[in-house]
Amino acid sequence: MKIINTVREMQNHSDFSRMRERSIALVPTMGFLHEGHLSLMKDGKKRANEVVVSIFVNPTQFGPGEDFTSYPRNLDRDLALCQDAGADVVFTPKDTELYQSAYQTYINLTKLPNHLCGISRPTHFKGVATVVSKLFNIVKPHIAIFGQKDYQQLLVIRQMVCDLNFDIEIIGAPIVREADGLAMSSRNTYLTPEQRKQALCLYNSLNKAQELVNSGVIETAKIIDAAKDIISSQPEAMIDYIRICDPDTLEDVQILDKPVRMVLAVKIGKTRLIDNMMLTIESLNKL
């Protein structure tokens, strides 16, 4: 497994691979890898000749007062995990390699970031879209794989790829969960054992929502109220948002007459967690 720190070396490597007609899958990460990331790498191995994993805690997607400096980092452990998962290259640049002091170009989407996480984190998606487009130009992948846990991020990237004509296929991989259902996240390590138990309220409320839909409830307000009850019963849980929305535009949906995405962000103590699930209507599937 090759470890590359500079833009020039990464671009040269990819040019050489492309010249030999080797396909490249990019798995962009911020490190502190878990099973979710490893499943993206394994997926990449099946889809392409080479898997490039980027490990970069991107400063521009963190707002003031967020956890950029305390974000968990452990490069040695990450490299060992990448090696085990069969990654071919790890691209791990320094901050100054991607953002020189004269840096001034950012990518802004006009609609998708006006919902959900974009409201509580107003500059987040500008930072994500910017760094991902830079990674696309540096790694030159044929495909790029993102987890569906960051559902809004996935939509933002798909839209950006379409708008800016990147010749890259974007894959949205299923959420990987702990045995009890908690969605895997590098931020789960912030949770105390007591908070870890409480964090299950996100998954429980999504399951309750699907149960209600199965029992015939179609008013999203009722489903959201049930989720609020489950989450508010946890002493350290603070709801940022709970929404049931159109899976493409993220506009709120009032009545379920098509599959929708339920998305939520909840703080457990100081740790902000997100999760989501498609809610499907069995009766519609039978039509």
Question: By the criterion CB under 6 A, which residues form the site for ligand PAF?
Answer: 28-30, 58, 61, 128, 131-132, 150, 153
Query: Which parts of the chain are beta strand (E)?
Result: 2-4, 24-29, 50-55, 89-91, 143-147, 169-173, 237-245, 260-268, 271-279
59/247 with CB nearer ligand PAF: 59
Query: Residue 50's closest CA among 103, 77, 13, 78?
Result: 13
CB of 126 vs ligand PAF, minimal distance in Å: 12
Which amino acid, 30? Answer: M
Q: Phi then psi for 122, rounded to 5 degrees?
A: -60, -25
How many Å apart are CA 202 and CA 143, to the nearest integer?
A: 31
CB of 145 vs ligand PAF, minimal distance in Å: 10
CB of 168 vs ligand PAF, minimal distance in Å: 13
How many Å apart are CA 43 and CA 165, to the nearest integer?
A: 24
Active site residue 37: yes
The single residue of 13, 37, 124, 142 carrying the catalytic annotation is 37
27/213 with CB nearer ligand PAF: 27
| CB contact at 8 A, 156 and 129 | yes
CB of 88 vs ligand PAF, minimal distance in Å: 18
53/206 with CB nearer ligand PAF: 53
28/141 with CB nearer ligand PAF: 28
User: Which residues are catalytically annotated?
Assistant: 37
